[in-house]
Chains A and B, each alone.
Chain A
Amino acid sequence: MQRITLYICCLALLLSSCKKYLEERLISGVSYDYYDTEDGIEDAVNAAYAELRYPLGREHGFAITEYGTDEYTEGADGAEKATFNQYNTTLNANNGWLHDIWTSYYRGVSITNLCISRIPKINGVNFYTNDANRNMRLGEMRFIRAYCYFMLVQTWGRVPLLLEENIGVQTDFKRAEVAQVYDAIISDLRFAVDNLPATQADYGRATKGAAQHLLAKVYLTRGSAVTDQRGQKATDMDSVIYYGEQVISSGNYALVADYARLWDMNNQKNSEVVFAIQFSKNLLINGDGNKLHLYYGMEYDILPGMQRDVANGRPFKRLRPTDFLMDAYDRKNDSRFYKSFKWAYLCNNEANRPKWDASNAPDPSLVGQPKFNLGDTAVYVSMDRLPDNDPQRARTPYLWISRTQFNPKWYPTLIKFLDPERPDKTEERGSRDFFLMRLAETYLMVAEAYGRKGDFAQAAAYINIVRKRAAYHEGEVKPAQYYLVEGGNPADLTKSTEPLVMVTAADISNDFVNFMLTERMLELHGECMRWYDLVRTEKLVERVKAYNHEAANIRDFHKLRPIPQAHIERLSHPGPKEEEQNPGYY
């Protein structure tokens, strides 16, 4: 009997130890209770910033902001150029890139909602021990949430508005009114303005200035509506001026004196940056990196004397400037044109240098000799209109690409995103910070607000601050194109052009909105905001039809993107199509 008892005991022991045997402990990862700790919530805050990188730093970024605008059009390559540049039928609710971006912004909303609900309850041990710090982090999170909603509402119009933590299954979403979304954005940003410090110990965190700049932009966007209903108020332009001028007068920011220096890889932390999405040369903290360096380049790398290298980049040939962009400049006096693009490629490949032959050698002794050496100009992109068969061309050692020969492979390459600091010429993960907000735009926003109020003198004054920087300064040596192509006098090569680029109230008062759009283009082209500018001002169709020849298919309904079908299909109780989808897409 004893033994049977023992068996029973053993069995009981076995069953009870079973529970212990089957216990599960997460060791290599962490779960949600981590967010209730100070370290955990700081990691959540960092994660919210990390989300900012996703939509802009890759192909999606330019596709929805620069394709299909008046300033850039498609290059030779690119899988989605028909969709976004040509407004083809593939621009529909099933487009994956739009869903990616939608998802990313809502991930940003989700993580900031979590932070905003939990930060007040954190038991502080180190950082969260006083309200100022707590409110600062709350301000950062509300800044990012506002930014996400601002992008969502501009892209899709009416979108679901979630302002509470929602870890769990949620499948019922109603689209909020556009005005409601703007109200929420403004409320978040006003909190951020009040609670963020002017500077942060960690470079890259949201500051008061960043919140003010964004708030000014939000008011400008809401207030630009003509027929659209965004909940615009008569005071919107005053608010733009109020917040914009606070940024300008804060003393924390200043224009970089030379437009070219602004884009210097080694000058990323410059005085003009109000807010920049951070990327790093340390690949371990660079995530997917800033890949924009890939997309604007022309196909230089198979031309004679050239090969791909780190400095010149990997040319994906996605985007090329429109004629409208190139001709909108006073190219002679406005330095921004020649400083925005790359004009010459220096020979970096001895092996495939072209050789003189009897028909073109300047001297018979040169026949069979290479036309140039390493480091000499191999390719020159020029704004002249030299005909194809001009004899000058053959006598020139380098490849001379005139404007008459521009095509989807050959065009001026935007330098704003080039990344010569990548560790390897094939590396896609660039380290250049993305300037989401810079002071020049603050000036232009304030100028636009004054102009929209009818105060063209003030508007001109602010525009001229930006134009003054844009001019060639006294003593600055202009590029040779000044006299070779643009008709300048060689004697004026170091003379200031500042007086020549200024505008007056009279110059701008006529058709002010179109003037302002062009003015913004001259300063900000390529910086992934153009499509929103055109939509904001309700000028998208007019200007794209006029200036982007590939985008002839554009229609009025294209001012909003289609709500991703995947979203609609996953709703538990979707409303009728007219409710869930934007017009034109069903």
Chain B
Amino acid sequence: MKNKLSYGGLWLYLLCHGLTLHAQSTIQGKVTDARDGAPLPGVTVSVKGRSLGTQTDMKGEYRLRVPAGQNTLVFSFIGYLTQEQAIDQQTTINIVLQEDLKKLDEVVVVGYGQQKRRDVTGSIVSIGEAKIKQSPVLSAAQALQGRAPGVYAAQSSNRPGADARVQIRGRRSFNASSDPLYVIDGIPIYVGISELNPNDIASMEVLKDASATAIYGSRGANGVILITTKRGKAGKVTVDYNGYTGVQEPLKLMKTFDGPGYAEYRREAFRNTKNNQYPSDKPDKALDEQLFKQDATVLQNVLNAYDANGNYDPSKIRSTDWGDLVLRTGFIQNHQVSVTAGNDKTKVLFSGSYYQHKGIIRNQDYTRWSLRLNVDQQISNAIRIGMSSVFSSYIQNYGSDLYSATYGINPLSTPYDSSGKLIFQPGNDAQIYNPLYDINGMVDERRKFRFLGSFFGEVQLAEGLKYRINFGPDYGPYRQGEFRSAMTTDRKGGTAWARIYNDSRFAYTLENLLFYNKDFKDHSLGVTLLQSIQEERFERSEEKAFDLPYESQGFYNIGTAVTIDGISSGYSRKRLASFMGRINYSYKDKYLLTLSTRADGSSVLASDNKFDFFPSAALAWRVKQENFMQNAGFFDDLKLRLGYGVTGNSSVDPYETLGSLTKTSYAWDDVPAYGFRPDKIPNPLLHWERTAQYNVGLDFTLLKGRISGTVDAYLQRTSNLIMDRQLPTASGFPNIQYNVGETSNRGIEVSLNTLNVDTKSGFRWTTDWMFYTNRERIERLYGGKKDDVGNKWFIGQPIGVIFDYRMDGIWQNTPEDLALMEEYNRNGSNFAPGKIRLGNVYDPKEHKITADDRTILGYTTPRWIGSLTNTFSFKGLELMVFIYTQQNYLIRTDKRLALAGRYNHMAIDYWTPTNTDGKYPRPSADVENVEFQDLLYYEDGSFVKVKTATLGYNLPSGLLNRLGVRSMKVYISAENPFMFTSADSMDPEVLNDSSSDRNYRTSPVSTPTPRSFLFGLNVGF
């Protein structure tokens, strides 16, 4: 026994030796596709009940030695119905496999393993290669959008290279990020996936409920996305090229005042001053000469509108569209070549890719290239090793907020003087500098390299018993170099400034896994055991300086600067040690049970508190297998799932529990007097946030696979929420991280796939429907059931709410309004006709505006998300249209309404004594910020977008065969061709995370969303 276990080779020898004692026969044959009769390579042929088997080769042929006494062969292949064939005396068995519309045998990747779809007990969405390839996607995260109910993926910015933000089943935490855990080829990683080329992905599985994610323990609370990259195949060498190229233009722009509009707006702003500085209802030449005299060009431009008789014709005013000056046609291209090769021992995939994106803003672009090598090697019958590795690099020219820098500029001014030179201060305003200088003057170049690997070895220890070791290193140095020339909007003609920032991150995961699978009679048992350690080490350094002696150095010789602005460095390390066990049990293929538990020990928790346990259980009932359902021909399959599990959210930062001090600086005259003041209060009791989740799900297939779908409902309760518990600052501390709060999320997810039309002539129309709604609620805060108004957190409400005064139109110059204003003004308000009128909700009789009058105006996350993907195919042609919507949520669109009459901003319909229907308050040059101006920024963000429309053509194989080409597809695709929304925002979908207020989803003001037109080509040899 001892020897067998330890010397696998010997054991195998004995096993093989034993087999030779029996009589054998050799069976061979060919497997073909029922659809077109083409040979099927890669089909698994096995002897029923024995772990003996082989695969078909490129010609679809196989050859297998079968021991005597075995009488059934099993043919299985992903996407096809498994077939069993009894063996009599024949030595040749040819098989025709039928496509499986129900996809029950499709293999789904789950945490630490794989399962057939029919055996899955958790809530898992699988997005296969076919879906990913259906239309060109710019990033892996984008491929998730609208394809998985419960998953909310949105761009965090429109900058080329910006990562999409993915959120699974809502937000649970105030403090921790809502990012899911990404697991690439089995290795859980610490930072984003933007470097991954979507073409390298074979499948993505989204694990949503806790029974599926609990095996990732303290990191599983936000859901898990498993990414499996493509691997080599046995057989002929294949070469594939996938590429697309295209152009981009803005989907929607910020509409600012043009020259005549701005001129009139400015006049109105000066009419509405304390001593009416523009005492004329109509444009007046003499008054304009005063009003616009600050800049000669502007003045001349306005005066051009007057003829000799003083008649005013605004069409003679020339406008500069500043926004247009910083935009360009974007350009995007992606090329990937992949090669697979292999035999039954060695399988290799190599791919190289290049992606370039020049943004629609003139100083933003992104270039990424990556090389991938995936290898599998069978060392002996029992031992297999393999690796997947990717080396990638990107250069991002982050640019500046060039587009939003143009909003404020006077459209009457010009960027160039008469000699064609750029004017530094167009309009001669002390605060406005020409952003065209920034195109070359502002450099923010970010470079990142990343090596991400997954190496494994597998040993078959005994029948059904397998040992596996995984090692996954992740190394990524990052550099950000910034340079701002003296002549930029930032440096305003001062001296040049530069900054250099470097960090490096090394993380590794080492896992030991033991798998045991055993079938006996009606019972089937699977056990998985895991021991793992993980570490992430992070270092950074930064230098800033200004007054550079020569600008050509950029940020490459920062030491020559006259003034050093800052130097810093940092280090952190965190580690995780884990143990996990899981049991999968099924009875008669009808009742499926999964039990798991994980123990995570973490370095970032205080020493007495390091370990935590995360259990889960799930039950599935394949109702269709019951006898009473056998006659319900309507259903092809019906499965009910129930799950419960606990997961953690590792939102504790390293050293957080120890408390920390922060550095201060002071000077004795000019002698440094550095110091340290208390920063964070130590909290040795800090531990993970825990999310307990119930999930009930139904998977069904109807009408011979023409309709299939999944419905999931869930309830999550997250407790021990780590909150910045806000303290009265009289204690000297503004907050402490504390496990106190509780939130819940409940939601329903529906996905439905229908085959609407499938004619004999080959026309097919399928629709994928997706609907998702989630309601997040704050259940408890540190004060128990007490709201935290300061943070805008309210019991029973979502985390993200907009809480403010309610705007009730504009005060009118009517006797009733005047009388009412009088009442308010007596209590300290400053109301006047043309100003914002507030809905006084707290005590309308009081006529006093107080903080209590604020109310919850709406929620910042959509109440529901839906998508509809229609695919039409006929012969080789395929048209796919993907429509996506988010409904019923509030956004805050910053319309930049400040300094009316001086700065330009969004063109608005403003109130004047003659335009009393104006929706916006009357401008006043006396006022820097309109009182309550945020109320003008809130708007409903609901939208419907046609996200993608792709028309593709697969060239017929007959033609291709003559050319020696295996397959070829050409397509054209439009990304974001249409958007329907009532919002003023350029794109209510894009959320700006840099907003200082976490509650707001400020609609971006920096970069318009692009609309892309792409041409693509996929060729395989």
Asked if B670 and A30 make an inter-chain contact with CB atoms under 8 angstroms apart, the answer reads no
Residues on A with beta carbons closer than 8 Å to the beta carbon of B916 = none
Per-residue contact bits, chain A 575-586, to B (CB 8 Å; 1 contact, 0 not): 000000000001
A203 to B667 Cα, complex, angstroms: 9
Cβ-based interface call for B828 (8 A): yes
In chain B, positions 570-601 with a C-beta closer than 8 Å to chain A are: 570-572, 575, 577, 601
Check A31–B677 contact: CB distance below 8 A: no
With A26-B660, A424-B495 in contact, do A302 and B575 touch (Cβ < 8 Å)?
no
Q: How far is the CA of A81 from the CA of B899 in the complex (A)?
A: 13
Contacts of A103 in B (CB 8 A): 729, 734
B733: A residues at CB distance < 8 A: 110
Considering the chains assembled together, what is the distance between the CA atoms of A289 and B833 in angstroms?
A: 43
Given contacts A22-B610, A572-B783, contact A32 B661 (CB under 8 A): yes
Decide: A21 and B681 in contact? CB cutoff 8 A: no
- CB < 8 Å neighbour of A47 from B562, B567, B571, B676: B676
Set of chain A residues within 8 Å of B727, measured between Cβ atoms: 169-171, 570
**Known contacts A77-B928, A94-B851; A287/B664 CB under 8 A:** yes
User: Given A21-B533, A49-B673, A78–B928 Cβ distance below 8 Å?
Assistant: yes
Establish whether residues A32 and B565, one from each chain, have CB atoms under 8 Å apart when the complex forms. no
A-side interface size class: 35 or more
Please, how many angstroms separate the alpha-carbon atoms of A167 and B679 in the complex?
10
Pick from A37-45, A211-219, A225-233, A474-482 the stretch touching chain B: A37-45
B974 touches A (CB below 8 Å): no
Complex contact A284–B665 (CB within 8 A): yes
B386 contacts across to A, CB distance below 8 A = none
Interface positions of B from 508 to 544, Cβ below 8 Å from A: 531, 533
How far apart are A348's CB and chain B's nearest CB, in angstroms? Answer: 12
Query: B565: which A residues are within 8 A, CB to CB?
Result: 283-284
Q: Are A423 and B654 in contact (CB under 8 A)?
A: no
- Shortest distance in angstroms between A360's beta carbon and chain B's nearest beta carbon? 16
> Do A44 and B676 touch across chains, with their CB atoms under 8 A apart?
yes
Query: Is the CB–CB distance between B668 and A110 below 8 Å?
Result: no
B571: chain A residues at CB < 8 Å are 27-28
A157 interface residue, CB < 8 Å from B?
no
How far does the Cβ of A123 sit from chain B's closest Cβ, in whole Å?
Answer: 18
Among residues of B, the one whose C-beta sits closest to the C-beta of A86 is B830
Q: Does B563 contact A (CB under 8 A)?
A: yes
A516 to B723, CA, bound (A): 52
**Cβ of A269: which chain B residues have Cβ within 8 Å of it?**
669
Interface size on B, residues (CB 8 A): 87
Q: Check if B68 is an interface residue, CB within 8 A of chain A.
A: no
Indicate if the CB atoms of A283 and B849 lie closer than 8 Å.
Answer: no
Q: Are B678 and A32 in contact (CB under 8 A)?
A: yes
Given that A24-B603, A50-B665, A424-B495 are contacting pairs, would A92 and B851 also be in contact in the complex, using a CB cutoff of 8 Å? yes
The reply on A571 being an interface residue by CB < 8 A is: yes
Q: Is A487 an interface residue (CB 8 A)?
A: no
Are A79 and B677 within 8 A (Cβ)?
A: no
Say yes or no for B929: interface residue by CB 8 A criterion: yes
CB-defined contacts of B5 to chain A, threshold 8 Å? 3
Type the 1/0 row for A29-73, where 1 means its CB is closer than 8 Å to any CB of B.
111101000001011111111110100000000000000000000
B654 CB contacts on chain A under 8 angstroms: 24
Question: Would B732 and A279 count as touching, CB distance under 8 A?
Answer: no
Roughly how many angstroms separate A555 CA and B848 CA in the complex, as a whole number?
A: 15
A287 to B672, CA, bound (A): 11
A-chain residues with CB within 8 Å of residue B676 when the two chains form the complex: 30, 34, 40, 43-44, 47
Q: A24-B658, A46-B674 are in contact. Are A287 and B665 (CB under 8 A)?
A: yes
A111 touches B677 (CB 8 A): yes
CB distance from A15 to the nearest CB of B (A): 9
Residue from B490, B567, B675, B928 within 8 A of A284 (CB atoms)? B567
Check A301 for interface membership: any CB of B closer than 8 A: yes
| Chain B residues with CB under 8 A of A92 | 850-851
Contact A43 B674, CB 8 Å, known A427-B494, A569-B788: yes
Interchain CB contact under 8 A, A308 and B828: no
| Pair A88/B828 contact, Cβ less than 8 Å | yes
Interface positions, chain B 698-735, Cβ under 8 Å from A, are 725-734
Q: Enumerate A75-121 residues with CB–CB distance to B below 8 Å.
A: 77-79, 81-82, 86, 88-90, 92-94, 99, 102-103, 106-107, 109-111, 113-114
A566 within 8 Å of B (CB atoms): yes
Q: Cβ of B70 < 8 Å from any Cβ of A?
A: no
CB neighbors of B among A488-540 (8 A): none
- Bound CA–CA A554/B569 (angstroms): 50
Inter-subunit contact B577/A43 (CB<8 Å)? no
Query: Would you call B384 an interface residue if the criterion is a C-beta within 8 Å of the partner chain's C-beta atoms?
Result: no
**Are B601 and A285 interface neighbours, CB within 8 A?**
no
CB pair A285 B491 closer than 8 Å: no
Task: Identify the closest chain A residue to B783 (Cβ).
Answer: A572
Contacts of B577 in A (CB 8 A): 18, 21-22
B298 to chain A, nearest CB (A): 12
Contact digits for B1-34, partner A, Cβ 8 Å, 1 yes 0 no: 0100110000000000000000000000000000
Of all chain A residues, the one with the shortest Cβ separation from B565 is A283
Q: What residue of chain B has the Cβ atom nearest to residue A175's Cβ?
A: B730
Most buried by B among A114, A204, A299: A204
Which of A32, A42, A92, A424 gathers most chain B CB within 10 Å? A424
A567: Cβ under 8 A from any B Cβ:
yes
A302 touches B790 (CB 8 A): no
Interface residues in B405-447 by Cβ distance below 8 A to A read: 425, 428-430
User: Bound state CA distance, A535 and B95, in angstroms?
Assistant: 98
A129: CB under 8 A from chain B?
Answer: no
Whether B958 sits at the interface, judged by CB under 8 Å, is no
Which B residues touch A50, using CB under 8 A? 664-666, 673, 675, 677
Interface code A305-342, partner B: CB below 8 Å = 1, 0 otherwise?
00110000001000000000000000000000000000
Assembled-state Cα–Cα distance A231/B658 (Å): 43
Q: Is A89 within 8 A of B668, CB to CB?
A: no
- Measured CB to CB, the closest approach of chain B to A375, in angstroms, equals 19
**B655 pairs with A282, CB closer than 8 A:** no
Q: A103-B729, A287-B665, A553-B828 are in contact. Are A302 and B672 (CB under 8 A)?
A: no
Q: A167 — which chain B residues lie within 8 A by C-beta?
A: 659, 678, 681-682
Q: Measured between C-beta atoms, what is the minimum distance from A500 to chain B in Å?
A: 38
Quick check: A287 and B533 within 8 Å, CB to CB?
Answer: no
CB-CB nearest in chain A for B656: A24
- Decide if B681 touches A169 in the complex (CB within 8 Å): yes
A555 to B828, CA, bound (A): 9
Q: Known: A283-B563, A285-B672. Is A109-B667 also a contact (CB below 8 A)?
A: no
Residue of B nearest to A14 (CB): B531
Whole-angstrom CA separation of A32 from B929 in the bound complex: 44
B547 and A284 contacting across the interface, CB-CB below 8 Å: no
Which of chain B's residues has its CB closest to A23's CB? Answer: B603
Report chain A residues within 8 Å CB of B294: 302
Task: Compute how far the CA of A582 lies from the CA of B428 in the bound complex, rounded to whole angstroms.
Answer: 46
- Convert B122-138 into 0s and 1s, putting 1 for each residue whose CB lies closer than 8 angstroms to a CB of A: 00000000000000000
Report if A202-B790 is in contact (Cβ < 8 Å); known contacts: A423-B562, A566-B726.
no
Q: Answer whether residue A420 sits at the interface, using C-beta atoms and an 8 A cutoff.
A: no
What residues of chain B have their CB less than 8 Å away from a CB belonging to chain A?
Answer: 2, 5-6, 294, 425, 428-430, 490-495, 531, 533, 546-547, 562-567, 569-572, 575, 577, 601-604, 607, 610, 654-655, 657-661, 664-678, 681-682, 725-734, 736, 738, 783, 788-790, 828-830, 849-851, 899, 927-929, 931
Q: List 27 A-B contacts (CB under 8 A).
A: A18-B601, A22-B575, A22-B577, A24-B658, A26-B655, A28-B571, A30-B660, A50-B665, A50-B677, A82-B927, A82-B931, A89-B828, A103-B734, A113-B732, A159-B730, A160-B728, A167-B682, A169-B738, A171-B727, A278-B673, A280-B669, A282-B667, A285-B672, A286-B667, A287-B665, A424-B547, A567-B730
Additional pairs, 10, CB under 8 Å, beyond known A22-B601, A89-B828, A169-B681: A34-B676, A46-B675, A47-B675, A48-B675, A107-B677, A160-B730, A171-B731, A173-B731, A284-B672, A424-B547
The 10 A-B pairs at the shortest CB distance, nearest first, are namely A110-B732, A46-B675, A47-B675, A47-B677, A202-B668, A280-B667, A50-B664, A426-B494, A424-B494, A103-B729
